[in-house]
Structure 1
Amino acid sequence: MKNKPVYAIASVDHALHLAQLLQQEGALSVSEAAELVGVARSTAHRLLAMLVYRDLATQGDDRRYFPGPVLGPASAAPSMRLRKAALPHMHALVARVNETVSLQVRVGVDVRFLESVECDRMLRVGDRSGKVLPAHCVAGGKVLLAFLSHDELNELYGEVELDIERLRKHLALARRHGFAVNDQETEAGVTAVGVAVLGQDGCPLGALSLAVPSARFDRQSLSTYTAVLQGACAAVSRDLAAP
């Protein structure tokens, strides 16, 4: 896991975050960009103008901004709608268990963290919004990979150096139990549990994960963690299915 640089340049970070959001969402208005990044509308407008100048964004006739030729096409996942549906349930989940919760989507062999809601404990897992990690190591990534067929998994990891049979065993467990665990596979001292958010067709749209400092993680609490995650994911699915 990469840590934020000690001497981070806020304007550069905001611009790169906006570029990530454009790639994930497909289109953003100035007000949406300002809200997501946490800056004033005027600042968001200037950042987007610079992205357009560098071909990282383009502006449509409706004045919304889209990913530019440098970024390539946006993710197929309806990320904005998924985020809006998930956020209230993520806040409720954090209030209930007082641990950090993240929303993730799979993009190829990686997982993108669309949103995080931190708990208020002194020792906690921090905000992972915007991070990209290998799907086979992340709790949410594993549970999303578990929906792939044998051939789809082979095609996805055909050119990746990976113990595919070991991964298959992990994914079989995730299918059987309805959740997956990341026990310090992406970062020492962090353990996470992930559950998929399903669409009306039963296909995964994303995953919610609950991340706990390993020193506090209790295997006896695993059933509680999975139960509250499954409840939250089901609630997100219901909200997405509503008109």
Structure 2
Amino acid sequence: MVQIERMDSHQAVRTFIKVGSTWQLPHTSGGMAIMARLPDDEVDRILSNPIQQLTPQTDTDPESIRMKIEEIRRVGYAVNVNQNRMGVCAVGAAVLGEGGCPVGGIGISMPETRFDEHRVPWWGKQVSDTAANVSSLL
């Protein structure tokens, strides 16, 4: 996963991701959303490689990640809580290209202090709708 663009929040306390930063797909909400749109054999190929432990919360267990992918397929978006960086949460969805193949992801991130589990469905709808709009333009 490569960060290619960002829009900064107007909040005084916010998360920052440097354009050009890279992560393994399971580390990010956008990456997990992308994996959820891939065929199972491609997911298996990705999960056959070791997943780096970035934080104490990073899920490195392929079976646990597969279970999360099933949930993402059901709801249409992924949630990341301290998986990539401690104190940072995110919600992301996949951008689809021709034939429904994932070509990228869109996500919102926030400090954990502003993360509210009750708002996740609303944030999920926002990123899913935005990803669908971008996908329709490709």
* TM-score, normalised with respect to structure 2: 0.86
Superposed displacement of residue 210, structure 1: 0.4
Q: Which amino acid in 1 is paired with 2:18?
A: R
Aligned partner of 2:54 in structure 1 is none
Q: Deviations over 1:55-103 (max 9, x none)?
A: xxxxxxxxxxxxxxxxxxxxxxxxxxxxxxxxxxxxxxxxxxxxxxxxx
| Secondary structure of the structure 1 residue equivalent to 2:3 | strand
**Percentage of identical aligned residues:** 30
Q: Which amino acid in 2 is paired with 1:153?
A: V
Q: Which of 122, 127, 130 is residue 224 of structure 1 equivalent to?
A: 122
* Structure 1 segments of 4+ aligned residues over 4 angstroms from their partners: none
The answer to whether residue 118 in structure 2 is matched with residue 202 in structure 1 is no
Point out where structure 1 has 5 or more consecutive residues left out of the alignment.
1-110
Aligned partner of 1:235 in structure 2 is 133
Change (3 A) 1:132 1:221: same
CA distance in 1, matches of 2:109, 2:135: 21
Aligned partner of 1:36 in structure 2 is none
For the pair shown, the structure with the greater C-alpha radius of gyration is: 1
Change (3 A) 1:185 1:159: closer
The answer to whether residue 72 in structure 2 is matched with residue 170 in structure 1 is no
Q: Deviations over 1:159-217 (max 9, x none)?
A: 42642111100111111110111101111110000011112311111110100111011
* TM-score, normalised with respect to structure 1: 0.51
Matched residues, number? 130
Superposed displacement of residue 148, structure 1: 2.5
Q: Deviations over 1:16-52 (max 9, x none)?
A: xxxxxxxxxxxxxxxxxxxxxxxxxxxxxxxxxxxxx
Q: Which of 36, 39, 45 is residue 149 of structure 1 equivalent to?
A: 39
Q: Which of 110, 114, 121 is residue 4 of structure 2 equivalent to?
A: 114
